[in-house]
Amino acid sequence: MKLNLKRPLAFFDLEATGINVGSDRIVEIGMLKAMPDGTELIKTMRINPEMPIPLASSLIHGIYDEDVVAAPTFKMAATEIADFIGDADLAGYNSNKFDIPMLLEEFLRAGIDFDMANRKFVDVQNIFHQMEQRTLKAAYKFYCGEDIVNAHSAEADIKATYHVLLAQLDLYKDRQFEDKQGKISVPVVNDVDALHQFTNLHNPVDFAGRMVYNENGEEVINFGKHKGKTVEHIFDTEPSYYAWMKQGDFPLYTKKKLDEIWSRWSKKKEENKQAKQQKPVFKAPRQPEKPAAVVTTDMLEQLKMKFGK
């Protein structure tokens, strides 16, 4: 099956020093760019993470310190990676929770503002988990009938992810799905917009899931004591929360989105303040002063009688 694409769809997979988006680093990136005409472009790059790779991580993906010592740092490779992706939509396996936040973090460290505003992102794992709930290895076996050769290498995993999506489109064509609210739909269709909607049910603001959009399109905190409250409401009632998050161990992209909300909130607050200052204050018209009464002889006589003088 050929993907029905309006623009390129870039599948990508990251191998890293660990799974902490804020502190770990990429050691390999594999990218497969599916083009609207059906052609495919592949680029795989090893990355020097500028930190030791923990043995536990190396045992999973097979990349050790000596394998990346001569590789470029992400800052050196960032422009090449961004140019390869171009204006493509993004796809991956568990990409919404890990690969996209990790990639954005590395781009920000490298000083590149990788624009996500108009991109669609398809998380193949979310389709799989909601329809079958298994792992990539099981998904490839289930959908493609084969075992992944050289699993946990970025290129092998991303090729498997690409072929899993193609098989999912075949298998789930016209298959009905019932969500938690009992709504029935046919969500797995050959359309990136529809797949984007189906694989982004939580509608994250920052991809790390610290903030999500509510049904009204407002940014809402998704953790801790303020979970479920809009970010702007928290700024109204506890503005110090902004400084706490900025100083905390949160991903750079989370802080970037937080800055955008703070800037918008501050602008609205200042506009409201100026509007109040410019609003004319109503003053009641002054009553005309009564003319002083003319002192008469009778008035003087009454005063004498009252005070005995």
Tens digits of per-residue pLDDT, 144-188? 999 988 878 899 999 999 999 999 999 999 999 998 778 899 999
93 with 21, same domain? yes
Kindly state whether residue 141 falls inside one of the protein's structural domains.
yes
109 with 163, same domain? no
pLDDT tens digits, residue range 87-100? 999 999 999 999 99
Kindly state whether residue 290 falls inside one of the protein's structural domains.
no
78 with 113, same domain? yes
**Distance between CA atoms of 18 and 1, rounded to whole angstroms?**
35
60 with 122, same domain? yes
140 with 123, same domain? no
68 with 161, same domain? no
Kindly state whether residue 195 falls inside one of the protein's structural domains.
no
Kindly state whether residue 236 falls inside one of the protein's structural domains.
yes
35 with 113, same domain? yes
Kindly state whether residue 2 falls inside one of the protein's structural domains.
no
Average pLDDT estimate for 188-217: 91
Q: Indicate the pLDDT class of residue 134, thresholds 50, 70 and 90.
A: confident
110 with 44, same domain? yes
- Domain span holding position 232: 211-271
88 with 167, same domain? no
What total number of domains does the chain contain? 3
pLDDT tens digits, residue range 243-293? 999 999 999 999 999 999 999 999 999 998 888 887 766 666 666 666 666
